[in-house]
Structure 1
Amino acid sequence: MSTRRADIGMCFHRTFAPSKVTEFARRLEEGGADQLWLIEDCFYTAGVSLAAAALTVTERLKVGIGILPAVARNPAITAMEIATLCGLAPGRVLPGIGHGVQSWMRQMGVRPASPLTALEEVLSAVNRLLAGEEVTVDGRYVRLDRVALDQPPVPPPPLLAGVRGPKSLAVAGRAAGGVVLAEPTSPSYVRAAVEQAGSPADFHVVAFSFLCVEADRATAYRRMAPWLATQLADPSPGLTVLPFFQDLHDLFTRDGVDALVTMPPDWWRELGPVGTFDDAVAHVEALEDAGVRSIGLFPEADVEIASAQLETVLRLAAR
């Protein structure tokens, strides 16, 4: 059985000016890329309004939101927003909902005592509303009384859970149609995450990966080593699941950030599309082999560098 080719897209960095989203969306569509992923982090730019702008200047491009914090909006409003986007561009919306960073939720006065319960209740309610149901629920965090959307999307989009840990992935498997895995997303992490979600059928896996393609590997590794060092300071499940994590951690602990530049190329290829263009292709194909359907490539935070990196995204989409 042949491996399914993933949709390739680019992430829109949270610090970019909102006015840039239409330019990036048009260039991605015209160049043959499949997706644009919009990052809603507090307190930067908002995902729904950026998505509306991107969708209305394109005809084919799929637009994903990674992610809407579950408790930042009432789930009825979240469902209304998603349904409206689907009405603007049927079949082109990939909405993601997650816990949100809990310190940000605390700043807004909405941090739940049980983020897992809150997420599952919100995912369930939004899914039912998008499916056209009239929803009455009296949960711990979600309370709705005979709420139904006037224009539910047909068919409803897959509702994706932006989560990381095993308990949250189990929630995703029960209550979502897929998952958005934050960078670094290796093939090892994808397989572990799907297993922790219970290996549900027709599960849409989205992988975010930090993009760094240079003419030679050493240059790419030097650019990425400081970023990897910050990740190792507080390792996420995406790192700890790596088969070589302990060796990587020991190398960094012993010799510091400079030692990361000397890591074996296969370690870097497992971590992300880092190195030469051929290395990036190898990473993408490994994610496809692991079952990933959508890949969002993260650019540099500098908008001019990101604009140049967009051409690499187009090359990967056309490979």
Structure 2
Amino acid sequence: MNNSFRKILTASCLAAALAGSTAAASPSYPTKEIRFITAFAAGSASDIVARLIAERLQAALHQPVIVENKAGASGQIAANFVAKAPPDGYTIMLATNTTHSANPYLFKTLHYDPIKDFTPIAQICNFPFVLAVSGKLPVSNIKELLAYGKKHASTLSYAYGNSTGQVSAAAFDKVTGLAATAVPYKSSPQAMTDVIGGRASFMFADLASAAGYIQSGKLKLLGVTTNKRTALAPDLPTIADAIHQPGFNLAAWVGIFGPAGMPKPVVDRLSTEIVKIASSEDMRQRLTRLGAEPTPEPAEKFGPFVAQQLTIWGQKVKEAGIVPQ
């Protein structure tokens, strides 16, 4: 056996041994249940989307996908938990612009980095936010709300349970000169309850969590935060047009992350399955009925989007005049 042939044979055997070793050390993902963390309470828009995704992802991966609500601190509790989890694909998170776009500008101290501490997996959808008031409040449009606010300046307040609601309301309050009192809540459903009960004057909410109250007449919608009317509520005017502020344009985004450092094959598997789920006609219809605009994108496109949104929301928070807590 000449030296050249011996070297080739040796290299081939070594490669085969390494391949066998790698296969033995890395069983096919997943082999156990996946924890799917949400940053907000049950009944919130993100919770509803998480459960829709989890049900279908479980079927696709043939392993349990368990949704866990870790609400509080504007999503920081959930984000901190996932950022510190092992990057093995068995702990993932359904996150929003609250945790990954706005929080870095709303809080002086944040115990996670929205870019460095996470692995982007897939984008799911956007949620246009709407200006909502109690069905009992004697106003039917934004002009009437502003007039009502001037007459009841001492008692006017707005509720919020997430960053989109906070930034939208603060921006609206600032540009209209209402000077309403901001009232924070742990979650959007709690804030909505107090608006319905008259303990807060108005709020900005997503259509998903507000839908039932709108249909029952407990809430009235006055405008939408996007710069164009949404197909989800075509008769609803934009806030931008109503207050003559073309730059008023805010919508919430929803996506899925894991901890930083996840293996690429695991990310690719999750991203492929989740985008397939979010792109299906059944899921698109479900999201639309919830008041969401489907925007499924894989990991390689979702990552740059998150970085871009971090800059955009920083500017929006600054324009709203919000002082970091």
Same fold by TM-score greater than 0.5: no
Between structure 1 and structure 2, the one with the greater Rg is 2
* TM-score between both structures, scaled by the size of structure 2: 0.31
Greater relative CO (CA pairs within 8 A, separation 6+) = 2
* TM-score between both structures, scaled by the size of structure 1: 0.31
